[in-house]
Amino acid sequence: MPDKFDGKGFKTWQKKMLFFLTTLKLDKFILEDKPIVPYGIDDVHTLASVD
């Protein structure tokens, strides 16, 4: 597992973290686009179904 980010060498840390998440097959959670919520929708059940 990569070390915690300490504020130095962000690009290197970012590449290591992406590689680590890819090996665990978790990279899709940081690479996929966020769902678009229609304006004016604030119902909890509707928001849950957008996913």
Counting every residue written for the chain, the total comes to: 51
For residue 50 the two structure tokens come to 């957008």
Q: Is residue 37 part of a domain?
A: yes
How many domains, the chain? 1
Q: Is residue 2 part of a domain?
A: no
Q: Is residue 22 part of a domain?
A: yes
pLDDT digits (tens, 9 = 90+) for 1-51: 778 888 899 999 989 999 999 999 988 888 877 777 777 766 666 656 554
Q: Is residue 40 part of a domain?
A: yes
Q: Is residue 28 part of a domain?
A: yes
Number of helices (H), then strands (E), belonging to the chain: the values are: 3, 0
Q: Is residue 4 part of a domain?
A: no
Can you give the residue range of the structural domain that contains 45? 10-50
CB 22 within 8 A of CB 37: no
Q: Is the pTM of this model over 0.75?
A: no
